[in-house]
Structure formats: structure tokens, C-alpha cells
Structure 1
Amino acid sequence: MDKELEQLAPSKRSAAKTIYATLKILKEAGGQLPGKEVIDKIRKTIQFSDWEKQVYEKTGYVRWESILHFYTVDCIKAGFLRKNKGTWYLTEEGEKAIALGPVKLLTTASRLYKDWANNNKGQKTAPVSDEVIEDIEENQPQQQKANLNQLEEQAIAGIKDFIRSKTAYEFQDMVAALLRAMGYHTPFISPKGKDGGLDIIAHADPLGATEPRIKVQVKHWPDNAIRVDDIRSLTGLLSKEGDIGLFVTSGYFTSESERSARESHRHVKLIDVNTFIDLWQEFYPSMADDDKNMLPLHPIYFLGSND
């Protein structure tokens, strides 16, 4: 073991090696991964002690995982890491910070978090101190934030696994249900077979007399990126004045695809799986019961955090 790591208290030693591994894993993955996959990769690459593998009585979480989530709060405030809907993103600053090594990376993140907390004294933040926090469960504000992040990631992972289990046509029906909840009419939903490039056509009124007319392409590719050629193909189908293109995927878009949509002479909106989940949650109360059953949700409210 590295001598610098040996000199750290157990919690910080575990944090240093898992935070460092997290940033390296994200870099190797191209800058982003679901948090669940990051955890799985760390579990396979780091040998943990029996102490690290113990489960906290209060939360039921494995100690090293709880420690990692706790210190990712430091990394987020330091600007090294971002989290959104269960996906973890490595920032440019985070990629540079890998060169610091495990120990200096952790101390730098903690120092920057301390600076952030000192500059936001009006908010309820974790205690700012140089003392080693051996039982992180006692650091209530930061542990609360870490626990909420962990619960959100578990919830989003469950929703994404549910979406992944659907067939392409079931996902297409979910997209149509979302559009109806948003107030649109869906007179055309492609049956199985050749669809001419369009999966759904939606109108703002029952007769389709009011603009816009939304032409929708749906791809159920949870593990793949939508390429720029797919965006261009949809753009080519926007032949009438008032046509809007909507591309929905259960996966994600390449940066080139996103740029193509932004720069298109036609209005093209892209919805990846994270945005789809956001919209499903937002419009869920407006859905008919049959549509809700395509992706049933149950809201649970926890005490939040002010930071």
C-alpha cells in the first residue's frame, strides 16, 4: 500500500482510493457512467478490508460505498464531479485532478469543499473542520446529502432497468403516452413493420389543423448513442411548414448529434433517457391510468438539504 495512504485514518484511506478510482474509471469510460456501474467497477478492482465491507446498522449501506458517496459531495463542490439522474460525470477539472494521486486528490477536494462551505455560511452545511471524521454517519448534513444521492441513484437505476426491459414497441407506446400527457394528440403510432422513418405523429389539436405538427423518431437503444446520421434523417422528413422533429431514445446522443440538432434549419428536439424520465415524472399526474401503468411511479418524500 502507498505510504501516504497508510498514514490516513481508515475512513479517509478508503475515501482516497475509491474517489481516485472513480475519477479514473470515468475518464476511461469517456467522461460519464451510471453511478451503479462506477460502484460495480470499483468493487471488482479494489480489494476491501472486512471493516470496509461491513454494513451500517442505521442505513443498511456497505461502509466503503457510504464513505465514497459521502466524499463525492466534496468532489462535486470542488468541481471535479457532477451527478445527474444517477449518471456521474467527470469534469475537466476532475480529469486534471487525477494527476494529484489518491491522497492529494482527496485533501484538495475536501479543502475546496471547505472553501465553498465558508463562502455559504448562510446555508446549512456540514461542519467545517480539520478533524478526521471517523464515523461519517455523525456528520449529519453531509451524510444526509450523500444518502439522498444514493437513494436517488438507486431509484433512477431501477427506472432505467425497467425501461431497458421493454421492447422497442413498448417504449414507443410510452413516448406516445408522454406526449398525450403533455396535451398532444397522437393519431399515428407506427405499427410493427416499415414506418417510413416516423414512429409517431402528434398534433396540438384533434384535427391536426394547428401548428406544430410533431414528427417523432423513437429508438430503444439503452446502451448505444444516437449518431448524427439519424438526426439528419429525421430533419429530412420535416418537409412542411410548422413541422417539428422530436427524437427520443432510451440511451443517449453523441455530442455531434446534439450539435446537429442545435444548428439545424428546422426545429429538432432531442430527448435522452434522463430527460425522458424527468418529463415522465413531471407529467405523470396528468396521465390516464393505462398510460401510467406503462411505467408506474410511487413518490416518496424525504427530508431535503439546503445545499
Structure 2
Amino acid sequence: MKNVTIKGETSKTTQIAQKVIYAVFETLKKEPEGLPKKDLLTKVAPIFSSDNYANSFLEKSGGRRWETILNFYSINCTKAGFLIKKSGNWSLTQEGEEAMKQGAAKLLQTIKQKYKEWQSSDNIDTEVEEPDAEVNSQTQLAFLETFKDKALEGINAFIRAKNPYEFQDLVATLLKAMGYYIAEVAKKGKDGGIDIIAYKDPLGVEAPRIIVQVKHYTDDNKVSAPAVQQLAGVLKRSTDIGIFVTSSSFTSEAKREAHNNTKHIQLIDFTKFVELWETYYANLSLEDRKQLPLEPIYFLGTNQ
């Protein structure tokens, strides 16, 4: 790979990179189980509230400058072994937490150096001042992540505009696309903690019985542990499986409750729901697709 130098205003971009990477690490340090990227960005955004340059939109990616810089350097962070990104969830490793002790400026230098060491061929000059200025594999990956973020924002807004019963129907439609048979979808009114009942076969003879609780939020509220406990309470049969689906996310306590509960409970947050909808989209009827229509767009990938 040839050497690539991305030109730009070094001081401003480097300062933003130092600031945003350290803020991300600092935020994730307090969240041992990690955070959905959407929640992470919400927590980090205020540090740039008065920085017009950092908040300006880049023409090529369509994303805010600080977000694009974060996407760019997050690639370095993962290759350095400091950050783990999985299914839309970001978490800090023990090595990343240790590296924070160096301070923001030295942390960024270490991340760059470790990325260079990871490179199997000629090094890329990672003294990046405008991650959108040149096209190389790392910049391309940063752009793709920015585009995915923008797409998720649009999907999130579309889902939030639905009422709770429309979202409930959306969940039932997904389960049907996954091959389950929907026996019951709760009507308006008290549901006793059960929104959807599904089975593996049309008659409901074959175990397990799948009990689904759906919680739709139009704001940034999260599902708490008591709600998960309530779902566990309605799993009466030994073979029952509980699924909790939300258009938001779950608190750390809710995740621990699901993990430690004696009943089998699966949590599906917004990010996971969208992943499943994308995976089983081809199984949906044309009419069902209208509930959450998606348009696939293909970009040239990389080998990283």
C-alpha cells in the first residue's frame, strides 16, 4: 500500500481527535458492558456544543466533523485493541482503560502508533487533518460508518413516529418473517405483561412457547430491570422463552437481570431489531415491507 498523507489543518483536527477519543474512552470506562453507539454519541456531543468548526457538516460524508473524525480514529482504536465494536455496541478494553492514563494527547499518539504496527505493509501516514480529504481504506471505512449512522438515524426517526401498537405489529411481523407462528397480538388495553405469543408450529404443540413484551419509546428512555422482572413473572411454563423488544435500549441493570434470571429471556434493542429486520427483509411480503421499508445501497468495500 502506498504512503498516503491526508492534508488539512493539523491543529484543529488533531485537537478534535484528542478530545473526542478521550471523551469516548472516559464515557465507556463508566459502562463496563459498553453502550450502543447512538447513546455514546449523545453523551459525547455536549463537549462540542459551542464548537462551530467541530459541528460543521462535511460535504463528502454528510456527517458532522467530530463524528467523522471519531469514526476514522475508532478504526485505529479497534486495531490497537483499545475498543471493541460489536452489533452497534462500543466497549472499552482493559488495555484501552490503561492507555487513558497517558492523557488525551499521548493516547492519540499511542493509538496511531499501534495502528501503524498493525499494518502489514507500508505504513499510512495517519497524521490526519481532514479524514475526508483523500480516499484510502481507512477513510473509506470511516465514510461507510458515517453513512450507516445517518441511515440508522432515519430508521430511528421512522420507528419513533409510530405509536406503540404499530411498533408491536412491526415486532409481530418480524417474528413471522423469522419463521414463527403468531398466535396472539395484544389488543388495546391491559395486556397482563404479554404483547405477543408465538410458536414454532401452527398449532402451538411444539415447545417452546414464546412470550414477547414490547416497549416503545419516542424519547431516550431505557427499559429498566423491573420491566424485565415483570416479563419473567409471566413465563409460567418451564419451557417458556421470553423476548423483550424495545425501540430504545436497556439499562445495565436490565441486562444483568435478563442474564442472571432463572428464566430464559432474550433482549432485543433498537440496533438488534434493525439488524434482524434487515436480515429477514427478503422473507417479508411486499405488504409487510411497507411497515418499515428499506432500500439497500451498495458501496465498494475494503479488505480490512
Q: Same fold (TM over 0.5)?
A: yes
1:268-307 equivalence runs, <5 A: 268-307=265-304
1:241-256 equivalence runs, <5 A: 241-256=238-253
> Which stretch of structure 1 is more off in the superposition, 66-75 or 23-32?
23-32
Report the alpha carbon displacement of residue 172 of structure 1 after superposing the two structures with TM. Answer: 0.8
Task: Determine the structure 2 residue equivalent to 1:160.
Answer: 156
Is 1:151 aligned to 2:120, yes or no? no
The secondary structure found in structure 2 opposite 1:230 is: helix
Report the alpha carbon displacement of residue 219 of structure 1 after superposing the two structures with TM. Answer: 1.1
Report if aligned partners of 2:246, 2:269 keep a CA contact under 8 Å in 1. Answer: yes
Going from structure 1 to structure 2, the CA distance change for 1:129 and 1:274 (only over 3 Å counts) comes to: closer
Report the alpha carbon displacement of residue 110 of structure 1 after superposing the two structures with TM. Answer: 0.6
Report the alpha carbon displacement of residue 150 of structure 1 after superposing the two structures with TM. Answer: 0.8
- The C-alpha deviation readout for 1:199-230, integer Å capped at 9, x for no partner, is 11112222222222111111113623323332
- The C-alpha deviation readout for 1:266-304, integer Å capped at 9, x for no partner, is 322221222111111111111122321111111111111
Report the alpha carbon displacement of residue 25 of structure 1 after superposing the two structures with TM. Answer: 4.9
- The C-alpha deviation readout for 1:161-181, integer Å capped at 9, x for no partner, is 222222111111111001111
- The C-alpha deviation readout for 1:4-63, integer Å capped at 9, x for no partner, is xxxx65543442233233334555788535165256324305x355xx677655545555
The secondary structure found in structure 2 opposite 1:138 is: coil
Letter in 2 for 1:240: R
Given the two structures, how large is their TM-score scaled by the length of structure 2? 0.82
Going from structure 1 to structure 2, the CA distance change for 1:53 and 1:168 (only over 3 Å counts) comes to: closer
**What count of residue pairs does the alignment treat as equivalent?**
291
Task: Determine the structure 2 residue equivalent to 1:4.
Answer: none
1:187-206 equivalence runs, <5 A: 187-206=183-202
Query: Which structure is richer in relative contact order (CA contacts within 8 A, separation 6 or more)?
Result: 2
Letter in 1 for 2:175: L
Letter in 1 for 2:140: Q
Whole-Å Cα distance in 1 between the matches of residues 168 and 56 of structure 2? 43
Whole-Å Cα distance in 2 between the matches of residues 103 and 278 of structure 1? 36
Report the alpha carbon displacement of residue 185 of structure 1 after superposing the two structures with TM. Answer: 1.6
Going from structure 1 to structure 2, the CA distance change for 1:235 and 1:195 (only over 3 Å counts) comes to: same
For structure 1, the 5+ residue unaligned runs are 1-7, 122-126
Task: Determine the structure 1 residue equivalent to 2:236.
Answer: 239
Going from structure 1 to structure 2, the CA distance change for 1:184 and 1:53 (only over 3 Å counts) comes to: closer
Report the alpha carbon displacement of residue 248 of structure 1 after superposing the two structures with TM. Answer: 1.2
Whole-Å Cα distance in 1 between the matches of residues 84 and 136 of structure 2? 21
Going from structure 1 to structure 2, the CA distance change for 1:163 and 1:53 (only over 3 Å counts) comes to: closer
> Which stretch of structure 1 is more off in the superposition, 276-285 or 245-254?
245-254
Whole-Å Cα distance in 2 between the matches of residues 260 and 10 of structure 1? 44
Going from structure 1 to structure 2, the CA distance change for 1:76 and 1:198 (only over 3 Å counts) comes to: same
Task: Determine the structure 2 residue equivalent to 1:44.
Answer: 49
For structure 2, the 5+ residue unaligned runs are 1-9
> Which stretch of structure 1 is more off in the superposition, 17-26 or 146-155?
17-26
Task: Determine the structure 2 residue equivalent to 1:74.
Answer: 76
Going from structure 1 to structure 2, the CA distance change for 1:214 and 1:93 (only over 3 Å counts) comes to: same
Is 1:173 aligned to 2:178, yes or no? no
Root-mean-square deviation (CA, aligned residues, Å) is 3.0
> Which stretch of structure 1 is more off in the superposition, 232-241 or 177-186?
232-241
Letter in 1 for 2:158: F
Task: Determine the structure 2 residue equivalent to 1:105.
Answer: 107
Whole-Å Cα distance in 1 between the matches of residues 126 and 277 of structure 2? 44
Given the two structures, how large is their TM-score scaled by the length of structure 1? 0.81
Task: Determine the structure 1 residue equivalent to 2:206.
Answer: 210
The structure 2 residue matched to 1:12, chosen from 1, 11, 14, is: 14
Report the alpha carbon displacement of residue 139 of structure 1 after superposing the two structures with TM. Answer: 5.3
The secondary structure found in structure 1 opposite 2:266 is: strand
Whole-Å Cα distance in 2 between the matches of residues 238 and 73 of structure 1? 42
Whole-Å Cα distance in 2 between the matches of residues 165 and 295 of structure 1? 11
Going from structure 1 to structure 2, the CA distance change for 1:58 and 1:294 (only over 3 Å counts) comes to: closer
Report the alpha carbon displacement of residue 142 of structure 1 after superposing the two structures with TM. Answer: 0.8
Letter in 2 for 1:301: Y
> Which stretch of structure 1 is more off in the superposition, 69-78 or 89-98?
89-98
Whole-Å Cα distance in 2 between the matches of residues 131 and 296 of structure 1? 39
